[in-house]
Amino acid sequence: MALRHITNNVMAITSRPGLFRFFSKSTPYVVKVGIPEFLNGIGKGVETHVPKLESEIGDMQKLLVTRTLKLKKLGIPCKHRKLILKYAHKYRVGLWRPRAELMKA
């Protein structure tokens, strides 16, 4: 009896229109992501290392597989290394992309 009561309540809650529909407006994304766009997307002061990473690492694919020791040898502080590695992993998995700069009309 209690199980029937619980399942009826669940069905009543889930059948309400719009209750579980939380859609947000999608944000525009950068089509081509390079090292400058990637680091600017992270923010938090990491973008100061753009010239160093572009000259030493070169392209985005190499940055995505770079390890912490390589970044340490380049003189990047620990907090920035952590942020770069965290967002590189999220980018590889497909959970994060840098936002595009909005075009002013």
Q: What is the largest CA-CA distance in the chain?
A: 70
The letter for the amino acid at 98 is: P
Question: Is 71 contained in some domain?
Answer: yes
Nearest CA-CA partner of 70 in 62, 28, 3: 62
For the segment 49-84, what is each residue's pLDDT rounded down to a tens digit?
999 999 999 999 999 999 999 999 999 999 999 999
Identify whether 69 is part of a domain: yes
Domain with residue 48: its CATH number is 1.10.150
Q: Is residue 44 part of a domain?
A: yes
| pLDDT tens, position by position, 85-99 | 999 999 999 999 988
Question: Which pLDDT does position 95 carry in this prediction?
Answer: 94
In a domain, 25, yes or no: no
Domain that includes residue 57, residue range: 35-93
Q: Give a yes or no: residue 42 inside a domain.
A: yes
Domain-embedded: residue 98: no
Pick from 33, 55, 44: nearest CA to 77: 44
Q: What is the pLDDT of residue 14?
A: 53
Is residue 8 in some structural domain?
no
- Domains contained in the chain, number: 1
Asked if the structure places residue 28 within a domain, the reply is no
59 residue type, one letter: D
